[in-house]
Amino acid sequence: MANDDETPRHRIGAVARLTGISTHALRVWERRYGTLKPRRSDGGDRLYTDGDVQRLRMIKRLLGLGHGIGDVARLPAQELEKLLALHDETPSEPQPALDLVERYLGQVERMELGAAEQTLAGAALALPRRDLIDQVLAPLLWKIGTRWEAGSLHVAHEHAASAMVRSHLGAMLRLFAPDQGAPVSVATTPTGELHELGALMAAVTAAMSGWRSLYLGPNLPVPEVVRAAKTSSADAVLLSCVSLDAPAAASFVVELDASLPAHTAVVVGGHAAQSLSSPPRGVVRVADLAELESWLAGRVSPTTGRRAARSR
């Protein structure tokens, strides 16, 4: 009689829920790395064992600890257990998310872009979306900026690293399908502000908070932002100001606030936004994504997910 651990019983959707690994990733790992060899039901569906589920959980943990999927995908369960034990026995081990950030930046500096992409993909699989943004992507963007300013990262490095982060954030944004009655936000950057990833992270944060989130891209003039907000009946415009000088940012915000419908709030964040003095009454300034999330959550009904009363 077969051991229960070896009995095929779980369909791929159940395995995805049990492990937190998407069905797409499970299929890719099977095809590309031979990670698992599931049996097939009479109808052709993949069937996984309890042992497969446990092995996948260990692989996910190792990805979160900084290992690449290509390094651990084919390891037997005993080897995965040994690797996890090594981490448990290391008292001074860095926090896994910080380790991932440093690993990624080192790979970018050496132009090992395939390995860097794999590191980000592993982090996306291993961490919940909110943790991925807060613990990996946001610190990563800050480190990219500071190292570029210090000269340790060149323009090619910065562009390559940012392109990969942009791709992952865009993929995250496409995963959400909010309620049709959800409040609407549009996210962008002011004219002259070319650093778009803060606005893209704001758009993803809005989607995670139950909003219907529209990302417009960077560097838009006031009339285009207003047109998009009016067409979509937006409840909020999310602006990211990172490198724009304070007078230009203030001028843009004042003009935008005066041009929008009364029910559309302006929420501004980013490094340059913190230097804005006396923003107009309809403008909300947030210090970070956590503060933005709190503001957004306060405008979604906790029972229906629909928009709460809109006011500025």
pLDDT in tens, 104-122: 988 998 999 998 988 888 8
Domain-ending residue, one of 41, 70, 88? 88
Distance CA 282, CA 246 (A): 18
Per-residue pLDDT at 285: 87
Q: What is the CATH number of the domain that holds 125?
A: 1.10.1240.10
Together in a domain, 16 and 35: yes
Q: What is the CATH number of the domain that holds 230?
A: 3.40.50.280
Per-residue pLDDT at 226: 97
Together in a domain, 248 and 154: no
Give the structural domain span for 249: 184-297
Better-scored residue on pLDDT, 244 or 190:
190
Per-residue pLDDT at 92: 41
Domain-ending residue, one of 149, 173, 197? 173
Together in a domain, 194 and 159: no
Better-scored residue on pLDDT, 83 or 308:
83
Surface-to-core class of residue 259, CB atoms within 10 Å of its CB (0-12 exposed, 13-18 middle, 19+ buried): middle
Band of pLDDT at residue 90, cut at 50, 70 and 90: very low
Domain-ending residue, one of 88, 105, 132? 88
Average pLDDT over residues 2-16: 75
Together in a domain, 263 and 223: yes
- Asked if residue 30 is part of any domain, the answer here is yes
Kindly list the distances between the CA atom of residue 304 and the CA atoms of 182, 253, 264, 283, 312, in Å, as whole numbers in the listed order.
9, 32, 21, 27, 22
Average pLDDT over residues 68-86: 85
Together in a domain, 226 and 278: yes
Together in a domain, 188 and 293: yes
- Asked if residue 311 is part of any domain, the answer here is no
- Asked if residue 61 is part of any domain, the answer here is yes
Give Cα 310 to chain centroid, integer Å. Answer: 27
Better-scored residue on pLDDT, 135 or 152:
135
Would the pLDDT of 312 be above 60? no
Per-residue pLDDT at 235: 95
- Into how many domains does the chain fold? 3
Strand order in the sheet with 265-269: 212-215, 184-188, 236-240, 265-269, 283-285
